[in-house]
Structures are given as structure tokens and as C-alpha cells.
């Protein structure tokens, strides 16, 4: 395998290496994976401390479940994430803090509280979010959800070429962010497995991830315990998708992905270390 030099990626004033781990910490009572285990403020802070100790480079804080569920308005999302961001910034000054949100109002508040990255997993439904990132000098994740509205599931979604659609959208969003003033070395692109995609389509973008890394933009993959892995493994429950997750992480790393959003930091670190040992 021939790999291109890693594009610069700088967040929280430091450069990130070729394979950075982003740990998921959800302040939600209904997360698909942990079922609210880190909803309480103290539990969330403890989870952050464990993730940092296990080698996480980035902490991704979320206040709204990705899938359908109880409505979470802006005020409630702010209540869940802003104080946590401030506390993590105080206790872990060297870690990169990301916030998983599509709302500009939330982006503004967490930027003021100390966030370094806005993780827009829904593909830009609020175009002002990039303006917030630019105004505060922080990073932005540009993802692809096929035009799906936040917190909805795909239904018989079709693409002439799913990877072509992904590439066209995320690169356009990335260039728009840079034009607005977001630093080029603080922009990532994410194919967003399962968001606006069937299992077959998520598998295809995994196989073709090298086409994304070839764009020169740092690529984030968020595949941890997702439905496409469970379905591929014959209908495995969420808590039995770990081996499949590690397999997809390994393939993604081999194809040049830079940031890996995961629930199990220690296992991901071991998998990525193995890939690094195999990489020429």
C-alpha cells in the first residue's frame, strides 16, 4: 500500500497524529449504545476521565440522540452540553473537545465554553454552524446524510453512486467552511455511515474510503457499533458488535482515515496500533 502524506490537522493548538481517537460521551438518557449511562453530569465527567486515561485524543460530547426519540429543544441541548464542555476544558486542558450538534445556537455556546470542534453529523442543515466555527477559530466536521433531516432514518434511499454523492457534498461543505474563514487544517470530512444510507451503502463507502482520503481532507469515520455492522454480522445486538467495529476501524485506518469516533477507546487504540505496525 502506498499512502499519501497526512494532511495537517490542528485542533486545540496542537497537531494531531495520523490516527486520532475520538471518544463518545453522550449526555442523553436514551443513547442507542449506553442507554443513558453517562447522562448524569458526574457520570459524564468520569467517562471523560477514563477515555483520556485510555488514550483518547478527542472527546465528542453529544446532547441529542441521533435517532428518533423524545424531542430535545435548543434550551435542553444547551443544558446538557455547555456546563460539561466547560468542566472538561477545566479538568483536561490538553484534550480536544468536540460537540456533536447541528445547531448554530449550540455551537456558539459551546465555543464560548471551550469547545475546539463542531461535529455536524447531519450534513449541514444549519448553514450558520460553519460561520460559528469561523468566528471562534475552531474546527468543523463536514458530513453526509443524503439530505436527511436530523434524527430521521433513511427509507429506501437510493444513489446513482453513493460515494460520488458523499464526495460531492462533503468537499463542497469543506470548501464553503474554508471560504467563510474556518482554517483548512481544522476541517474534517465524514461519510457518516448509516446516516441517510442502507447497510449495503455503508459497506460500499467503507470499501471505497480511499476515494475520500485521496481528496486531501482529513477523514473521520464514526462506525462504532452501528446498525450496518450489526446487520452484516447477522443481526448482532448493539453490545455484540465490538469485533465488527474493530474490523471496520482497521480497514478504515489502512485506507487512510485520520480520526476514529468510538465507544471503546482501549480496544480501538490496540486495533490502530496493530494497523500502524503493518503500514509501510
The active-site residue, picked from 80, 197, 261, 269, is: 261
Q: How far apart are CA 263 and CA 260, in angstroms?
A: 10
The active-site residue, picked from 226, 241, 258, 269, is: 226
Q: How far apart are CA 243 and CA 240, in angstroms?
A: 8
Taking Cα atoms as reference points, which of 97, 91, 87, 85 lies closest to residue 14? 97
**Would you mind telling me the total number of residues written for the chain in this entry?**
280
Q: Is 261 a catalytic residue?
A: yes
Q: How far apart are CA 102 and CA 113, in angstroms?
A: 17
Measure Cα distances from 158 to 13, 155, 192, 197, 227 in Å: 40, 9, 15, 8, 18
The DSSP code for 185 is: G
Q: Is 65 a catalytic residue?
A: no
Write the burial class of residue 24 (CB in 10 Å: 0-12 exposed, 13-18 middle, 19+ buried).
buried
Active-site annotation, residues: 226, 261
Amino acid at each position: 500500500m502506498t499512502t499519501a502524506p497526512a494532511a495537517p490537522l490542528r485542533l486545540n493548538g496542537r497537531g494531531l497524529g495520523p490516527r486520532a481517537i475520538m471518544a463518545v460521551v453522550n449526555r442523553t438518557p436514551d443513547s442507542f449504545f449506553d442507554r443513558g449511562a453517562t447522562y448524569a453530569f458526574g457520570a459524564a465527567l468520569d467517562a471523560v476521565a477514563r477515555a483520556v486515561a485510555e488514550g483518547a485524543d478527542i472527546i465528542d460530547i453529544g446532547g441529542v440522540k441521533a435517532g428518533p426519540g423524545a424531542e430535545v429543544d435548543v434550551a435542553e441541548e444547551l443544558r446538557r452540553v455547555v456546563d460539561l464542555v466547560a468542566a472538561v476544558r477545566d479538568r483536561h486542558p490538553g484534550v480536544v473537545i468536540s460537540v456533536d450538534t447541528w445547531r448554530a445556537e449550540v455551537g456558539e455556546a459551546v465555543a464560548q465554553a471551550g469547545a475546539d470542534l463542531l461535529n455536524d453529523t447531519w450534513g449541514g442543515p444549519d448553514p450558520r454552524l460553519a460561520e460559528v466555527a469561523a468566528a471562534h477559530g475552531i474546527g468543523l466536521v463536514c458530513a453526509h446524510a443524503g439530505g436527511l433531516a436530523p434524527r430521521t432514518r433513511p427509507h429506501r434511499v437510493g444513489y446513482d453512486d453513493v460515494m460520488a454523492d458523499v464526495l460531492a457534498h462533503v468537499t463542497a461543505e469543506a470548501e464553503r467552511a474554508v471560504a467563510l474563514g474556518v482554517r483548512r487544517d481544522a476541517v474534517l470530512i465524514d461519510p457518516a455511515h448509516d446516516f441517510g444510507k442502507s447497510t449495503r451503502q455503508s459497506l460500499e463507502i467503507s470499501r471505497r474510503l480511499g476515494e475520500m482520503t485521496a481528496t486531501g481532507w482529513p477523514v473521520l469515520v464514526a462506525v462504532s457499533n452501528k446498525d450496518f455492522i450489526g446487520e452484516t454480522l447477522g443481526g448482532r445486538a448493539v453490545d455484540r458488535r465490538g469485533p465488527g467495529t474493530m474490523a471496520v476501524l482497521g480497514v478504515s485506518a489502512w485506507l487512510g482515515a485520520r480520526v476514529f469516533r468510538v465507544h471503546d477507546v482501549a480496544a480501538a487504540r490496540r486495533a490502530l496500533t496493530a494497523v500502524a505496525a503493518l503500514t509501510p
